A and B are shown apart, each in its own frame.
Chain A
Amino acid sequence: MLINIRNFLFLQGTIVSYMHDDQRFITYLQQNDHRGISQIYQLFAPKIIQMIRHNSGTPADAADVMQEALVSIYKMCSEREFVLSCPFEAFFVMVCKRKWFSMLKKRSGSPVTNSLDNGYTIEKENMEAKELADQLEREDALMRVLDTMGKTCRDIIRGCMGKDPQEKVAERLGYTYAYLRKKKSECLTQLGKLVREHPLFKL
């Protein structure tokens, strides 16, 4: 089996990660590349539409699911260091499938008529795609949990995790720097507890 050595990432002479050729799809999202994103739709939309139509959905549902999935993927892979180690298709289809399953559950009147694995059985997807999709789901869940917190904690966490220095965040929110740091610790502790209770999120 021939393997392209350029795809391996090395750290002090040790292979730490393998970059799949489909990394370009991640780059298209990171760079908001119109032509590249069109390519993603051309290549993968037919399969997503087929999977969703097979499970009580419409092409319009497929459009929503695809957009939501691509935004989630972008958020997870937004840092340039992110390395895709599996085929993008396997990862993308799995993310879309899970998002559609979640939407179906919310629509009480729309029972799942077929197995979501029809046509895209787990055997076809590699385990790395599954691990990535699991990670994406956990990250989505974390952000949803954050949104359930009180406004003060939300503002403090969002402010402190942003690009601005904490002194500036304190000033913007009208707190002293010391109070902001104290509240930030409390809010992050509370968030940690909430997340631990979430079935998806086990760091």
Chain B
Amino acid sequence: MQNYFEHIFDYLDGTLPPEEKHLFEAELQVNQDLRKETARQRDLQAILRKQIRAEDKIIPLNSTLTEVGDAYFKKKDRVRILRWLLPVTVAACLLVVFRFWSDPAFEKLPGMPSATQRGDRGDATYEQAVKAYNEGDYPASILHLSALAAAEEPPARYTYYLGLSYLGKKEYAAAARELREVAEGKSVFAPDACYFLGVAFWKTKQNVEAGAYLERVPQSSSYYEKAQKLNKRLRP
């Protein structure tokens, strides 16, 4: 055996013939460099063997780690989102409640005075219309008021309350048709008709038209403030 270093791998693999193995081991006793290099190669191969053999099991382990890691970190994310979301949700709810409370009921209809209240004699149809309207029975009030409004040159109040009845029944196009007639006229109902016409347009998302009529509600009208508020809300 001339060069012992060439035989380190055979020695470590256990493939040296017995006689050569004996010679090699004898040399190991006296040759420090050979001893060092043999130990180095033994350690190196032990690590390589361990690391390479472990690789077979890395795929299932990685799969478990991914699963467990995802579950852990997503749970943390969810907690973090909840921590952030909770106050935002509460604030949003409070805002909605606040707006609900602070909003005037834009569609709230005025009462319809009876002929007696107005000092008029009136007729039975009108009184039936008043009764139906004030009780919220808008189909009936529409029926009676339509009959009254069909007369030649009917008083504006018939058309006005007919328009309001349609509004109460949520038939906004019909409400707009009747109320426009009053709003464009010169009766005392015209300013209030402008307001309710604005509401009818707002309900059908015709904001430009709604704004135009709401702006026409004069300060003297009891609906002036509501008109201003609704008009402000319509602006983008």
Contacts and interface: CB of A to CB of B under 8 A. Distances in A.
A60 B80 CA distance: 14
Interface string B26-40: 000000000000011
B44 A203 contact: yes
A67 interface: yes
B61 interface: yes
A45 B72 contact: yes
A191 B57 CA distance: 25
Interface in B54-71: 54-55, 57-58, 60-62, 64-71
Most buried by A among B15, B41, B43, B51: B51
Contacts of B67: 34
Interface string A183-203: 011001001100100000001
16 contacts: A32-B57, A41-B69, A66-B69, A67-B62, A70-B61, A71-B65, A74-B57, A75-B50, A75-B58, A139-B47, A139-B51, A142-B48, A158-B52, A161-B48, A185-B6, A192-B44
B51 A143 contact: yes
Interface string A118-143: 00000000000000000000010011
B64 A37 contact: yes
B98 interface: no
A63 interface: yes
Interface centre among B49, B53, B65 (most CB of A within 10 A): B65
B53 A78 contact: yes
Nearest to A186: B9
Given A139-B51, A161-B49, 4 more contacts: A32-B64, A161-B48, A181-B15, A188-B9
B76 interface: yes
B125 interface: no
Nearest to A30: B57
A79 B52 CA distance: 12
Contacts of B64: 32, 34, 37
Contacts of A59: 73, 76-77
Contacts of B57: 32, 74, 78
Interface in B68-104: 68-73, 76-77
